[in-house]
Structure 1
Amino acid sequence: MGSSPSKALTGLLCTVSIKCPRLASAAGIATTQSFQPLPFSNSDRWIVDANGKNVPVVGINWPGAAETMLPEGLGYQSIANIVQKLTETGFNTVRLTFAIEMVDDILDNGGDVTLSGTLTRALGSANGSAMLSKIISNNPQFTATMTRLEVFDAVAAGLATQDIYVHLDNHVSKAMWCCSLTDGNSWFGDTYFDTDKWIRGLSYMAAHGKANWQTFSSMGLRNELRPALTGAPNLHPYTWSTWKTYMTAAASAIYSANPDVLIYFSGLEADFNIEPAVGGSTLLDPGFSFNVSSYEWAHKLVFEMHEYDENISSSCPIYEAILESFGADATTKSGGNKAPLVISEWGHDETDASNAWQSAYSQCLTQFIVQKQLGWMVWVMAGSYYIRSGTQDSDESYGLLDHTWSNYRGVNSSAAIKQLVRSTYAAYGQ
């Protein structure tokens, strides 16, 4: 995404301080899983910790790549309150999204923008000032002159107090709501997708996280690569060979800047299709060949896949077979690039009235995740956004939390997420 509920290709198949003790939720969620030491690596199909023990990725998305370039929700809640809700639910990982534009400002445009400045620019003078007051009221350690990256640092520090891992995801280049085929962020060389600045931005954030974020575990190279319909003059061919050229270059840059973090590789078709990367070749691009073992960062690679409700099939066996044909067989692949797989975006309407948690999609996907012992990060924690597609204080029906980020959006939906948390840990013997 975030792609809910308007996924770009819907239907297309063809934080750092003394650690606080975890608390058990009222619903009895087991949230006392021990912190597994960093750095993580891959071992065959597993993510493993510094001691070689398998690591379950049980996560949620926290957006921070839209126009304000700030982690969402701070106008309604403190970082501490939001992190406590994550701990209560049982998550051990947050997929924190960012825009390359933030790094471009730091390196090319006179430095990072202040909290006051970024809110005014995104929301207007009056609304920006009002939001600034709310954010500082909730988070009194903030000031109007602190920078966007310092807010990210504060979120990372807050997550570290509860031993929650930070997975940093490059969502877009130009900060905005993602994703469409005409937003200029779609593919290498698109209107706003300068590949040199993208690689530079990833390297910068990898180094910054290494120096400043205690629980920094992993990075995602790019969110939902997809065809671009902008006609941008520097657009590269939409092929797996192009994918290999730039994704491997970016992975090498991250590894050089920070050899500790895992590196998540997304695929094509808005990250629904990763099969050629997993298999190492494709008839659609005869010149494409991908052998992970030939790279120095091979022990850091993780595949990621996104899967929203595409009405694939209401039969779980058929649904699972289709997912595997698009690369969800990464953990069992023979003769290809066998590696860990994380479903880094999936989700549905969290209101109880929708009954989406009971849909064939939700039931089949969560069953598949547990049975295959896959990692996952649900979209999304956000109950609302500072601004989304021009609408300020926009509600998010896919949000686990309500509009004010204070309570769960749905009783039954949140119970289903908590059950998935329990089942995932149990599948790992935790």
Structure 2
Amino acid sequence: MHSGIRSSLVSLLALSGGLLSSFTSASPLKVTANVEARADSWPYGPLVTSGRDMKNSRGDNVVYAGANWPGHGEVMIPDGLRYQSIETIVSKIKSTGMNAIRLTYAIQLIDDIYANGGKDTTVKDSFTKALGSTNGPKVYAEFLAKNPSFNDSTTRLQVFDAVAAECLKQNIFVHLDNHMSKGAWCCSSNDGNTWFGDRDYNVDNWVRGLTYMANHGKNWPALTSMSLRNELRKTDNNPTLSATYNWETWYTNVKKGTEAINKANPDLLIFLSGLDYDTYMTPVVQGTALSPGSGKFSKTDFGGYDNKLVIEIHNYANSAGSCDSLKSSLYNNGFQALHAEDSKAVNVFPVLLTEFGFDMTGTAYRGIYSTCIAEYLAEQKAGWFIWVIAGSYYIRSGTQDFEESWGLLTHDWSGWRSSAYIEEGLKPLAKSTAQG
């Protein structure tokens, strides 16, 4: 999230293309999806990497151009569904020319399932637990009114299932992002979710959660990639943990996470994020020592699935005064990996800017930051996910129905917060990257 600068149903699409309309089962329906069937229809998967590019089974370049859709908060389902239907929100995304969502989730969702004997929590109970005995049922009723295919036995994962099914219907790629361990707003240096081994960041549970979601994602033909973890960062209240905050520890755990995803679902691309709120990946790109050790990043360490690895970085340098400086920073912090001709780019990968954003209530979209980011992504033909589609959240940092001024959509998710930006900025950006 914009952490560096902010103040602070089962519904699955069978491979034949039919949408199930009932959400009555307590367990997710299993879809048998072989590679051949996927290769013959959108999304023409599985995707692979080839040098700097992501490619589909037909050999076409694939560039994600999309929006972040949060689902990692306390309710642990995708935001916005008290105000609009899944179909409406996906249609809004599609209407801009965007072709992807970065769908976030919390490891706590999976931890709860294991703690409950393999049974997921119902959405009804989750709303009450997160929002209280008064507001919870009220918001849940709004959720049902906008999404009448759901009912009192619908579980949280079944809502994710339905989002993935609608994305398949509308040809929207799903990138699944582990945003937090504990379901809550992200991110700060003292939230217990900062780094491997933090209060709420149990590494074994994280690996288990990645495995679970990668396996569950076999039910989602639109799912083409997963991330390992959002915005790794140094804790400011645990000196012992802080001592482990380095690239060597990062590499040890990244190899665990990538292996877990690949073993569970070898079709998926796997996104690697860096340190300091995922703002740089330079040692990985340049193949320098992963301090404090002398080891280096090597694709040979990834068990024959090195053609599944992608780099992601975030940038929220909203106060940038120079486009040239911003472009230089983006290049040096990760986008150098797109350039095999650069002798310092020891490891070449696809690179995506999976978070960037700005206040949508004024004219920031015409400023140096917004226009330069768009110009650079178009020049690089690089993928991206803007933060954020959400006009509001069920709850954020203790405030219910929280207004998101950075949201593309209005508070009730019904219209664009800045129609001018959509027309002048976002649509041209999608056209110049995903369609250019």
TM-score by length of 2: 0.89
Greater shift in the superposed pair: 417-426 or 144-153: 417-426
Alpha-carbon distance, 1:283 to partner: 7.5
Residue in 1 aligned with 2:38? none
Q: Distance in 2 between matches of 1:283 and 1:129?
A: 50
Q: Distance in 2 between matches of 1:145 and 1:323?
A: 46
Q: Does 1:69 align with 2:69?
A: no
Q: Distance in 2 between matches of 1:339 and 1:189?
A: 28
Letter in 1 for 2:347: N
Name which of 210, 218, 237 aligns with 1:230.
Answer: 237
Instruction: Tell me, yes or no, if the aligned pair for 2:107 and 2:183 is still in contact at 8 Å.
Output: yes
Q: Which runs of 5+ in 2 are unaligned?
A: 20-40
Query: CA 1:418–1:170 in structure 2 vs 1: closer, same or farther (change >3 Å)?
Result: same
Q: Does 1:420 align with 2:429?
A: yes
RMSD of the alignment, in Å?
Answer: 1.9
Residue in 1 aligned with 2:403? 395
Partner of 1:218, secondary structure, is strand
Q: Does 1:380 align with 2:388?
A: yes
Residue in 2 aligned with 1:360? 368
Residue in 2 aligned with 1:255? 262
Instruction: Tell me, yes or no, if the aligned pair for 2:357 and 2:406 is still in contact at 8 Å.
Output: yes
- Pairs aligned (count): 404
Residue in 1 aligned with 2:157? 149
Alpha-carbon distance, 1:425 to partner: 3.4
Query: CA 1:92–1:69 in structure 2 vs 1: closer, same or farther (change >3 Å)?
Result: same
Alpha-carbon distance, 1:282 to partner: 4.0
Query: CA 1:80–1:178 in structure 2 vs 1: closer, same or farther (change >3 Å)?
Result: same
Q: Does 1:213 align with 2:220?
A: yes
Write the deviation string for residues 17-64 of structure 1: whole angstroms up to 9, x where unpaired. 6379xxxxxxxxxxxxx9441110000000000122111111111000
Alpha-carbon distance, 1:287 to partner: 2.1
TM-score by length of 1: 0.90
Q: Distance in 2 between matches of 1:381 and 1:4?
A: 19
Alpha-carbon distance, 1:263 to partner: 0.1
Alpha-carbon distance, 1:363 to partner: 1.2
Query: CA 1:194–1:157 in structure 2 vs 1: closer, same or farther (change >3 Å)?
Result: same
Instruction: Tell me, yes or no, if the aligned pair for 1:191 and 1:230 is still in contact at 8 Å.
Output: no
Alpha-carbon distance, 1:424 to partner: 1.4
Residue in 2 aligned with 1:100? 107
Residue in 1 aligned with 2:202? 194
Residue in 1 aligned with 2:32? none
Partner of 1:265, secondary structure, is strand
Instruction: Tell me, yes or no, if the aligned pair for 2:247 and 2:290 is still in contact at 8 Å.
Output: no
Query: CA 1:213–1:2 in structure 2 vs 1: closer, same or farther (change >3 Å)?
Result: farther
Residue in 2 aligned with 1:280? 287
Residue in 1 aligned with 2:177? 169
Letter in 2 for 1:290: F
Q: Does 1:82 align with 2:79?
A: no
Q: Distance in 1 between matches of 2:4 and 2:330?
A: 19
Name which of 45, 58, 72 aligns with 1:38.
Answer: 45
Name which of 327, 346, 351 aligns with 1:336.
Answer: 346
Alpha-carbon distance, 1:233 to partner: 6.1
Query: CA 1:192–1:231 in structure 2 vs 1: closer, same or farther (change >3 Å)?
Result: same
Q: Which runs of 5+ in 1 are unaligned?
A: 9-14, 21-33
Instruction: Tell me, yes or no, if the aligned pair for 2:98 and 2:434 is still in contact at 8 Å.
Output: no
- Give the fraction of aligned pairs with identical amino acids, expressed as a percent: 44
Alpha-carbon distance, 1:278 to partner: 1.4
